[in-house]
Chains A and B, each alone.
Chain A
Amino acid sequence: MTTTAMTAGDLSAPARPRLTRWLLRLHRPALCVWTALVLAAAALLLLLHGPLTDAAAEGWRQYNHCAFNASCTYDQKAILRYKDWYNYATLTVCALPFLVAAWAGGALIGRELESGTARLAWAQSSTPVRWLTVRLAVPAVAVTVGAGLLAWLHQLAWSAGQGRIDTAPQWYVLFTFHANGPTIVALTLAGLAAGALAGLLLRRTLPALGLALLLTGAVCVTTQALLPHLWPTLGRTGPGYFYSPSRSWQVSGGEIADQYHVTYHPYSHYWPLQLTTTALVLAMTALLTLACFLVLRRLTGKAAPR
């Protein structure tokens, strides 16, 4: 009894880790590129957090000290350098969903289905459902770790400049908002699921890559359109024109019957907005993942064993 159980265990046990190991072996270049990208962006964000912010803050201190004295000099180069590198870092972090989507649609799923490698794998020990599960789960771990690290470092770098650099972006500015928090992790996971869906739908490398980018773009546009409405805004009404409070995100403003009206999100809405947006994007990711498995079932026939 024990020997047969052990033999059965020995036969079935190695199958599970092996699928993961193949996946890591096959996509070793992608893993290396991802690691290099995350490390380079992390190094840039640390630089931004330390010396670049300090130099720009010193430049702003000199500038404000000058007041309107025209013959006064200040370190303008440091201020411009900070602005440039901050933009590079933020755009790199915000490009992650699209990079992951292109890779997932092209290399992870589309190429395997085009070349027939996937069908070969299904004819071996692994079932299609397990094949897809491993292909989604392992990259999801790498994506969560990498994007999470970068979002945390970006938040640190951004906070370091607040109140010290007069031109540092506000919390609600499009790219800064997403690069600063968990929404970018959720968006990158959505990119992974969108890429997998595109690959399964088109089953050809380059068209799948294109569709993956379009789907991810659609997820981003939808998220951005819904974002201001995901938490109740505050409002103010009064005679005459006025702005919403400082550091608040003005959502709308206008004049109705001689009364000026603004609605806005104060800075205290930052985390509620981040978390509701993350939840919304994760819900879309879940729908995309569900669609992946439904398309896979249609592809392999209902008879495919689980």
Chain B
Amino acid sequence: MSATMLTGLPRTVLRLHRSALLAWTVFVAGMSGWLVWLTEVTAKNPEPQGLLCFDACGQPYVLLDFATEMQWACTLIGYCFVGIAAFAGGALTGRELESGTAQLAWTQGVSPVRWLAAKLALPAVALTVGGTVLVLVFRWASTAHRTQDWTTSATMFTDRGPLVVAYALCALAVGTLTGLLLRRALASLGAAAAVMLLLYTVLTSFRVHLWPTVTRTGPHAFDLPDNVWLVSEGSNAHGRFATYHPASHYWPLHLTETAIVLTVAALAVLASFRVLRHRLESRV
């Protein structure tokens, strides 16, 4: 009996949200295909050979639409968590609680806790797999033809590591929580997307402080390497100074932010189960 239940519940969740799974698959496959096309076809277009390239002769692809399209791909991958939050708040939990389908399922031998666990675990697997594919393909494409660095683009910083997956999982958890709290599809869809955008904006603006900067001083003006993230520079009584993040700070900064986002996700999951239990206790 319980064995069939175990296979039954995941199957029900997958069947119910098959269009969302299809949309996510299309997004991951489409973005990967686009990035492969950009790298293998667009960037290798011989068209700019005859153009004067000034300081871009080593990378003629920046004269094409390649750089713009790469930036769009980077933005779409970096902000895909907004769509995930909308799905989790709207379709995954909000709609089910609004229409009463969830309450019906709880009377059919599916305990509420297992219902919520399945609702969180299965999308989490799909998001982790798809997000990992996106990060790997993006890293390959952005390394093959450099257009901009993580020091100048916030989404480039996000897309080159596990932070994409962390934001996706956090959006899933926050969306589930708003769905349980508001119990209405559209209201919780909007709230989840807004909360995640706010979290992303706040974390992006504090990103520079997530790891100690390096300070360099000197009596005269000096040049820094090209690939550093300059935080501030100026002069005081002792001469010139500059504080910056060198290229080697990428992973410490990136992993610190990943840890913060995953902590928020874990807290949202914890809160979701507490809200569910509180709701059941107050109902009985």
Could you tell me which A residues sit within 8 Å of B by CB distance? Answer: 70-71, 73, 76, 106-107, 111, 205-207, 209-210, 241, 253-255
Contacts and interface: CB of A to CB of B under 8 A. Distances in A.
Contacts, number: 34
A70 B240 contact: yes
Interface of B: 19, 23, 50-52, 90-91, 95, 185-186, 189, 220-221, 232, 234-235, 240
Contacts of A111: 186
Contacts of B23: 210
Contact of B186 (A76, A205, A210, A253): A205
Contacts of B52: 241
A107 B234 contact: no
Contact of B91 (A206, A241, A254): A206
Given A73-B235, A206-B95, A255 B185 contact: no
A254 B51 contact: yes
Q: Which secondary structure dominates where chain A touches chain B?
A: helix
Contacts of B95: 205-206
Given A71-B235, A73-B235, A206-B91, A107 B186 contact: yes
B185 A206 contact: yes
B125 to A, nearest CB: 22
A90 to B, nearest CB: 14
30 contacts: A70-B235, A70-B240, A71-B221, A71-B235, A71-B240, A73-B234, A73-B235, A76-B232, A106-B186, A106-B189, A107-B186, A111-B186, A205-B185, A206-B90, A206-B91, A206-B95, A206-B185, A206-B189, A207-B19, A209-B90, A209-B186, A209-B189, A210-B23, A241-B51, A241-B52, A253-B51, A254-B50, A254-B51, A255-B50, A255-B51
A111 B52 CA distance: 57
Nearest to B232: A76
B142 to A, nearest CB: 22
Nearest to A242: B52
B235 to A, nearest CB: 5
Contacts of A106: 186, 189
A67 to B, nearest CB: 13
Contacts of A76: 232
B26 to A, nearest CB: 11
9 nearest interchain CB pairs? A70-B221, A241-B52, A71-B235, A255-B50, A73-B234, A206-B91, A106-B186, A206-B90, A107-B186
Given A107-B186, A206-B95, 6 more contacts: A70-B221, A70-B240, A76-B232, A111-B186, A205-B185, A206-B90
Contacts of A253: 51
Contacts of B220: 70
Contacts of B90: 206, 209
Nearest to B95: A206
Contacts of B186: 106-107, 111, 205, 209
Contacts of A73: 234-235
A76 B23 CA distance: 44
Nearest to B90: A206
A241 B51 CA distance: 8
Nearest to B201: A88
A253 B63 CA distance: 11
Nearest to B51: A255
Nearest to A210: B23
A241 B232 CA distance: 37
A71 B241 CA distance: 10
B67 to A, nearest CB: 14
Contacts of B185: 205-206
Nearest to B222: A70
Nearest to B193: A102
A241 B91 CA distance: 56
Contacts of A209: 90, 186, 189
Contacts of A205: 95, 185-186
Contacts of B189: 106, 206, 209
A253 B95 CA distance: 52
B190 to A, nearest CB: 8
A111 B99 CA distance: 12
A102 to B, nearest CB: 8
Contacts of A107: 186
A139 to B, nearest CB: 15
Nearest to B98: A205
Contacts of B91: 206
